[in-house]
């Protein structure tokens, strides 16, 4: 996969995760205004999360498969010299960890959840 295609996929799934996160948190606000938009937003969030987490599952599965099949943990722990293929696989796993945008999604989930909770508490106590 080319670097630009890889970057596009990262940004695409990152954006899907952000949209799903915001959609779910927006339901708290929309509850006060429109049942129709609550339902639309719920579908957007649910489909977005399903798609995003399926992608994350595939990424984690690929990493795990490489590490397991090539016994990279055992070889690095035992200080066994890695073949060029094994070095390439290890570099791929580490690069994929380094370039992942998942941590930004976690931050957005945390912050938007906090805002949604604060909004709900404020209006519930009002």
What's the pLDDT tens digit per position in 32-80?
Answer: 899 999 999 999 999 999 999 898 888 888 888 888 888 888 888 888 8
The whole-chain average pLDDT of the chain stands at 87
pLDDT at 1: 59
pTM of the model: 0.72
% of the chain at pLDDT higher than 70: 97
The CA distance from 33 to 27, in Å, is: 10
Range of the domain at 64: 3-125
pLDDT at 2: 65
- Count of beta carbons in the 10 Å neighbourhood of residue 70: 19
Segment 2-20 mean pLDDT: 85
Residue 115: pLDDT over 80 = yes
Length of the chain: 126
Segment 88-93 mean pLDDT: 86
pLDDT at 38: 96
Q: Hunting for tokens 């977005």 — which residue is that?
A: 48
- Count of beta carbons in the 10 Å neighbourhood of residue 16: 20
Domain count, the chain: 1
Label residues 26-58 b or e (16+ Cβ within 10 Å = b).
bebbbeeeeeeebeebeebbeebbeebeebeee
Distant-in-sequence, close-in-space partners of 63: CB < 8 Å, separation ≥ 6 = 93, 96, 97
């Amino acid at each position: 996969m080319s670097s630009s295609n890889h970057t596009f996929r990262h940004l695409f799934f990152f954006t899907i995760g952000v949209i799903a996160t915001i959609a779910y948190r927006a339901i708290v606000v929309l509850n006060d205004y429109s049942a129709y938009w609550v339902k639309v937003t719920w579908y957007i969030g649910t489909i977005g999360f399903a798609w995003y987490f399926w992608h994350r599952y595939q990424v984690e599965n690929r990493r795990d498969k490489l590490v397991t099949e090539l016994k990279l943990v055992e070889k690095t722990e035992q200080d066994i010299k890695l073949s060029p293929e094994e070095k390439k696989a290890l570099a791929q796993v580490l690069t994929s960890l380094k370039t992942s945008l998942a941590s930004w999604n976690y931050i957005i989930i945390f912050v938007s959840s906090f805002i949604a909770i604060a909004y709900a508490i404020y209006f519930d106590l009002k």
